[in-house]
């Protein structure tokens, strides 16, 4: 898996006022930005080229990429003057992401690995013959913060479906995935959510999930970020990496 994308173009409105003058992925955690944490993990997974999209406070995102130490070796900034959302951003980046499956990481995703790195597990379990995307899932019972009705149910074969009616799903999407270009290639360029692609893949039986065996942190509000900082500095999760 040589290619990846980090989604860093969102407005981060629920993180205001911290994001009034900076992009959410540039907020610090343990002395490094969330974007740096994500890029570090991708470099550790052997990814060689990463596309990072930017819209809100794009010049600051560009500065952060320029300040990196050369890992991953190639960083490509994708400026989006018009907000394209998650799906539109990945769709525009396809020519830079190659023809093989690639990783996509939300710019505000922060996790600690269990026995094996999450990105390596996703890569290892991704089967392009059966899957259009393999999502990292987190149990709602392990999440501190608002999760609503959850995102997905997981069947015995690893396929995903959405909750129906008043159902409450036991898993949420953790912001990491490996996808085939075919997940977004049928879509016209422009603004759309990856959820549209997920729903199409669910109908085709080609959206799968893998349950995270490490720690994961819900970073939606300033209170979430402060709580995560406290827990990590207190060493409460030293058994994860």
So where are the chain's domains? 3-233
Length of the chain: 241
Give the closest residue to 123 by CA, choosing from 181, 175, 46, 182: 46
User: Is the domain covering 3-233 a CATH 1.10.10.10 domain?
Assistant: no
Per-residue confidence at 185, pLDDT binned at 50, 70, 90?
Answer: very high
Mean per-residue pLDDT over the chain, rounded: 94
Instruction: Say what the pLDDT of residue 59 is.
Output: 96
pLDDT per residue as tens digits for the range 154-177: 999 999 999 999 999 999 999 999
Element (H, E) at 133: strand 133-139
With b for 16 or more beta-carbon neighbours within 10 A and e for fewer, the 27-37 pattern comes to bebeeebbbbb
Q: Which distant-in-sequence residues (6+ apart) come within 8 Å of 84 by Cβ?
A: 9, 53, 55, 91, 92, 190, 191, 192
> Tens of pLDDT along 7-46?
999 999 999 999 999 999 999 999 999 999 999 999 999 9
């Amino acid at each position: 898996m040589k290619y990846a994308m980090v989604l860093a173009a969102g407005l981060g409105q629920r993180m205001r006022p911290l994001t009034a003058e900076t992009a959410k992925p540039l907020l610090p955690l343990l002395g490094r930005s969330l974007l740096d944490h994500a890029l570090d993990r991708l470099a550790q997974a052997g990814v060689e080229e990463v596309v990072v999209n930017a819209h809100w406070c794009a010049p600051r995102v560009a500065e952060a990429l320029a300040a990196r130490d050369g890992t991953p070796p190639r960083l490509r900034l994708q400026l989006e003057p018009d907000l394209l959302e998650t799906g539109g951003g990945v769709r525009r980046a396809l020519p830079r992401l190659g023809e093989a499956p690639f990783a996509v990481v939300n710019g505000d995703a922060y996790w600690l690995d269990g026995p094996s790195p999450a990105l390596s597990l996703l890569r290892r379990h991704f089967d392009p013959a059966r899957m259009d995307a393999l999502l990292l899932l987190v149990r709602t019972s392990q999440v501190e913060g608002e999760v609503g009705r959850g995102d997905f149910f997981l069947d015995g074969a690893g396929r995903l479906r959405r909750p129906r009616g008043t159902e409450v799903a036991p898993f949420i999407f953790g912001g990491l995935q490996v996808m085939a270009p075919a997940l977004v290639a049928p879509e016209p360029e422009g603004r759309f959510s990856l959820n549209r692609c997920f729903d199409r893949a669910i109908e085709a039986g080609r959206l799968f999930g893998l349950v995270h065996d490490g720690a994961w942190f819900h970073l939606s509000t300033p209170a979430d970020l402060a709580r995560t900082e406290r827990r990590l500095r207190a060493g409460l999760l030293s058994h994860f990496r």
